[in-house]
């Protein structure tokens, strides 16, 4: 298979069709961000995730504009900072995001975190206006507990298509995933490798040897075999970028998926800590 031609699975919700593996860009900035997104697009990534809080929208947008890929072929997500959750601030900041991204629209706009001092009705009303204006194709949220997600869905006219949350074998989000599956949303999983912690897991190591795959491929395949789950692993390493896409020519058994699922508050906390002290894939 030639570079740029990749086998891919998709998640679908309310008209959105999203590649199940995308590129997360948290902690990628400047030239490294531009080069990583450019390389990802060359390899065949067609789903890129950024955010106002990442301060890299300009580099992401420039990489997409410079790529030999039509803009319409890339599913582009950005996230509104919670400090911009108010109606007017959301409209203004999204306009600024579109300018930095150098695109007339984004495929998906999320509120990055709940803002308890801003009315969710105001937030969703602004998002609905952006959809009506054609500047946003789909809307969603990130890091929302179920009760907040339900309030957002009730407040919005446009369908809320996803909740982006931490998702990995130590934090399998069973309750949230079940809710999304029942309600027709897809779940977007960030930190799907538990920021490197899952790569050292004994079961992951054993299955990697048995399947002749990398530990990262085993963990990402675990995630993507869940119905309605999309993942956005982050890496700036070219070899890892390619590996993270090469998932869909093998499949774990149901018992192996179950064996890999190991809810652990301790290891989830360790994964969060790793995000602050070190940079993983």
| CATH number of the domain that residue 83 is part of | 3.20.20.100
The reported pLDDT for the residue numbered 281 is: 32
What mean pLDDT comes out for the span 198-218?
97
Q: Does any domain span residue 25?
A: yes
Q: Taking 70 as the threshold, does the pLDDT of residue 130 lie above it?
A: yes
Cα–Cα dist 150/22, whole Å:
26
Which of 272 and 179 is assigned the larger pLDDT?
179
- Tens digit of pLDDT for each residue in 68-124? 999 999 999 999 999 999 999 999 999 999 999 999 999 999 999 999 999 999 999
Cα–Cα dist 149/184, whole Å:
13
State whether residue 109 is helix, strand or coil: strand
The reported pLDDT for the residue numbered 273 is: 66
Count CB-CB contacts under 10 A for residue 82: 20
Q: Does any domain span residue 5?
A: no
Bridge partners of 112? Answer: none
The reported pLDDT for the residue numbered 253 is: 98
Q: Taking 60 as the threshold, does the pLDDT of residue 280 lie above it?
A: no
Decide if 268 contacts 183 (C-beta within 8 A).
no
Decide if 68 contacts 99 (C-beta within 8 A).
no
Which of 273 and 29 is assigned the larger pLDDT?
29
The reported pLDDT for the residue numbered 172 is: 97
Q: Can you give the residue range of the structural domain that contains 102?
A: 11-273
| Contacts of residue 21, Cβ cutoff 8 Å, sequence gap at least 6 | 8, 45, 47, 220, 224, 230, 231, 232, 233, 244, 245, 247
Q: Does any domain span residue 280?
A: no
Q: Does any domain span residue 43?
A: yes
The set of catalytic residues is 54
What mean pLDDT comes out for the span 23-42?
98
Q: Does any domain span residue 3?
A: no
Q: Does any domain span residue 1?
A: no
State whether residue 197 is helix, strand or coil: helix
Bridge partners of 166? Answer: 190
The reported pLDDT for the residue numbered 264 is: 73
What mean pLDDT comes out for the span 146-153?
98
Q: Does any domain span residue 209?
A: yes
Q: Does any domain span residue 210?
A: yes
Report the phi/psi class of residue 142: left, alpha or beta, with left for phi > 0 and alpha for psi in -120 to 50: beta
Q: Taking 50 as the threshold, does the pLDDT of residue 279 lie above it?
A: no
Q: Taking 80 as the threshold, does the pLDDT of residue 209 lie above it?
A: yes
**Number of separate domains in the chain:** 1
Degrees, nearest 5: CA angle 132-133-139: 60
Cα–Cα dist 74/136, whole Å:
14
Question: What mean pLDDT is reported for the chain?
Answer: 94
Please list, residue by residue across 87-117, b when 16 or more beta carbons sit within 10 angstroms of its beta carbon and e when fewer do: bebbbebbeebbebbebebbbbbbbbbbbee
């Amino acid at each position: 298979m030639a570079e740029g031609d990749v086998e891919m699975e998709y998640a679908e919700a309310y008209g959105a069709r999203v590649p199940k593996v995308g590129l997360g860009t948290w902690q990628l900035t400047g030239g490294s961000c531009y080069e990583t997104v450019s390389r990802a697009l060359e390899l065949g990534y067609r789903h890129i995730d950024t955010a106002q809080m990442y301060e890299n929208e300009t580099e992401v947008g420039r990489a997409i504009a410079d790529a030999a890929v039509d803009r319409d072929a890339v599913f582009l997500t950005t996230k509104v900072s919670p400090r911009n959750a108010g109606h007017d601030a959301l409209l203004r900041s999204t306009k600024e995001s579109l300018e930095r991204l150098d695109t007339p629209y984004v495929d998906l706009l999320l509120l990055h975190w709940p803002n308890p001092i801003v009315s969710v009705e105001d937030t969703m009303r602004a998002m609905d206006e952006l959809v009506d204006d054609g500047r946003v194709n789909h809307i969603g949220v990130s890091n929302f507990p179920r009760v907040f997600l339900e309030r957002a869905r009730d407040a919005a006219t446009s369908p809320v298509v996803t909740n982006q949350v931490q998702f990995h074998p130590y934090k399998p989000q069973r309750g949230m995933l079940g809710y999304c599956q029942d309600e027709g949303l897809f779940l977007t999983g960030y930190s799907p490798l538990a920021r490197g912690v899952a790569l050292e897991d004994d079961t992951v190591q054993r299955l990697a040897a048995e399947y002749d795959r990398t530990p990262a491929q085993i963990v990402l395949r675990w995630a993507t075999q869940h119905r309605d789950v999309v993942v956005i692993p982050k890496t700036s390493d070219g070899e890892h970028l390619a590996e993270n896409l090469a998932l869909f020519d093998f499949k774990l058994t149901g018992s192996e998926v179950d064996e890999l699922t190991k809810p652990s508050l301790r290891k989830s906390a360790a994964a969060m800590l790793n995000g602050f002290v070190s940079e993983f894939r």
